[in-house]
A and B are shown apart, each in its own frame.
Chain A
């Protein structure tokens, strides 16, 4: 649960490109969609945890874990899996911690993806 925010490369770009059928523009579209969806999802997860709605939290975490796996984002997928487990265990503290961690991971991905390509 107490993992560090992922390395400067939070995305396995080759695997992600493969998932997008080798189409870089489509991959870009997917990443943008993921960032938007996951940002909302993490905020929703935080509210669900605070409200003690663990069943809904588990479903939301499960869905976002699937999306992360689709895009070959292993650390995010793993952290969402942890959140899913925390929801199953009805552990609000762990859920809150994981939500924070997920926000940080997502920020790292956003920076990585939007950073201008090095010459």
Chain B
């Protein structure tokens, strides 16, 4: 499912708020010392008395920094490390394992199980601080990587000229919403939009002006649809609006609103102010028993074709058997 949310919301970046550290130790005393020290250093702290509790905390809170004692009831630190690493998560949990000084062989086992670092008990607090800094540095790098990945994903999903969703993204959204509408027995609407005489604009004023017109129209349409509706560039000067949970009569009103909003605009371009109109073809899934994505697009395209054929600057709604025309002049 596509999302308009900014990428940073998928995780809590290291720098955005005090990092919460999980301290998992059945030794209450050591846990208390760690908690007090960590709080003094500005961390938030969550404590767990055993491995299972620690796992629950990591799961529930999505904790990214954990100090785990090796020996704990119910699940030891190494088992917990393995469990954390096995689970595919959106973000990484940096784990420091605590072990007794005379259990040196454990270190190899601990690191092999997925711990990032280890410390021997009793914990030297200055050393802990330095090791936590290392952890934060690594988590900070992960944050940057996640942001970049999301930015790349966003770029790949949008049309570079208009900023609208690109063809594959809008079709993916439509497919998802169609599935949802089948499950929920609701109706989904599609408006196919075409810029009237766009070829003439390109031929008369050049492609740069054509691009400017397309961008201005895209912006005009974007502000005239609601957040839960989506608009994408279908190809050339064709755009498609997907409206989840939308009945035919409502779809027609929205299409009309879009048509009028464009017709009323005066588009400022490098070759002066232009007046441009659009034609709209609308279709909803309610007219069909079990409609496919292709059928819905074809239906709206057919209605659009009819709008074009009947003189442009029109909204035509698809009706099985015929297309219903609705004309308004501005």
Contact = CB atoms under 8 A, between A and B. Distances in A.
**Best-buried of A33, A66, A69 by chain B (most CB within 10 Å):** A66
Nearest to B30: A70
A72 B101 CA distance: 14
**Best-buried of B69, B100, B122, B123 by chain A (most CB within 10 Å):** B122
B76 to A, nearest CB: 10
A101 interface: no
A23 B33 CA distance: 11
Interface stretch (B21-29, B179-187, B295-303, B319-327): B21-29
Contacts of B102: 81
A29 B69 CA distance: 22
Interface string B142-160: 0000000000000000000
A48 B69 CA distance: 23
Interface in B239-286: none
Contacts of A72: 122
B218 interface: no
A63 B33 contact: no
Interface residues of B, number: 20
A26 to B, nearest CB: 6
Interface string B93-136: 00000001110000000000000000001110100000000000
Instruction: Name the prevailing secondary structure of the B interface residues.
Output: mixed
Contacts of A81: 102
Instruction: Name the prevailing secondary structure of the A interface residues.
Output: helix
Interface residues of A, number: 21
B32 A33 contact: yes
B27 A30 contact: no
B227 interface: no
Interface in B35-58: 36-37, 40
Contact of A34 (B29, B37, B40, B123): B29
A63 B71 contact: yes
Given A70-B30, A71-B29, A21 B36 contact: yes
B100 A21 contact: no
B28 A37 contact: yes
Contacts of B69: 66
Contact of B33 (A20, A62, A65): A20
B30 A21 contact: no
A59 B28 CA distance: 14
Contacts of B27: 63, 66-67, 70
